[in-house]
Amino acid sequence: MKNDMKEILLTEEQIQKKIKELGHTITEEYKDHFPLFVGVLKGALPFMADLVKAVDTHLEMDFMDVSSYGKSMVSSGEVKIVKDLDTKVEGRDVLIVEDIIDSGLTLSYLIELFKYRKAKSVKVVTLLDKPEGRKVDLVPDLTGFIVPDEFVVGYGLDFAERYRNLPYVGILKPEVYEG
C-alpha cells in the first residue's frame, strides 16, 4: 500500500505520541464526569480505539454512523443518520471523536443534535483538521494535527473504503484515484 502514497504526512510514531498527549488532556478535563465518547463511524474507529486507551478515567463509548461523503471525495453537505446512538445523551458530557473535520457540516449537525437531546456539554476532539475546507464556523475543542486541503487516507480515512487500516496518514498518488 505504501507504493500508492505520494507522501506520508504523519507517521505512526507522530500519531501515537499525539494521542498520548490528547489522552492526558482529556483525563484532566473529564475526571469524575463519566464522559460519553461518541465515535463517528467508520473513520474515527482507529483513533477512538487508541484514544480511549490513553485516557485514565471511567468513560462510556458509543458510535454513530452518519453519511455525507459516500464514495465521492466531495462533501455533499447532506447529513444522514445511518446508525444512531444506543445511549441517552441527556445530562451527559459528550465528547465527539472524529477522524477529520473538513467542511464542518457533519460535526455541526451532530453538535446541534446532541444539544437538542439535552447533553450537559458537547465537545469535539479530532485527529485531523483541514481548516481551509470549512463551510461553517466550527473550531474543534481538541485537535491532533492541522493538514493541508488535500485528500488524505490512512488511520481510519479511506478512499473507496480502502486504506483505513494504514497505521499512518498519507496523500495518495493522483494515478491511484484517477485511474
The residue ranges that bind ligand XMP (CB under 6 A) are 40, 43, 68-69, 75, 98-107, 151-153, 157-158
> How far is residue 125 from each of residues 7, 26, 34, 61, 159, measured CA to CA in Å?
25, 9, 16, 14, 22
Contact between 116 and 89 under an 8 Å Cβ cutoff? The reply is no
To ligand XMP, the closest distance from the beta carbon of 129 in angstroms equals 9
Closer residue to Mg ion (CB): 2 or 71: 71
To ligand XMP, the closest distance from the beta carbon of 133 in angstroms equals 6
Question: Nearest 5°: phi and psi at 68?
Answer: -140, -10
For residue 68, the partner it binds in Mg ion, ligand XMP, none, with Cβ less than 5 to 8 A by kind, is ligand XMP
* Cβ count within 10 A of residue 57: 14
Closer residue to Mg ion (CB): 35 or 156: 156
> How far is residue 83 from each of residues 21, 26, 176, measured CA to CA in Å?
30, 26, 30
To ligand XMP, the closest distance from the beta carbon of 157 in angstroms equals 3
Known catalytic residue: 149?
no
Kindly give the residue spans of alpha helices, DSSP state H, lying in the chain.
12-30, 45-53, 105-116, 174-178
Which entry of 86, 102, 129, 158 is annotated as an active-site residue?
102
Closer residue to Mg ion (CB): 3 or 72: 72
For residue 109, the partner it binds in ligand XMP, Mg ion, none, with Cβ less than 5 to 8 A by kind, is none
The residues annotated as belonging to the active site are: 102
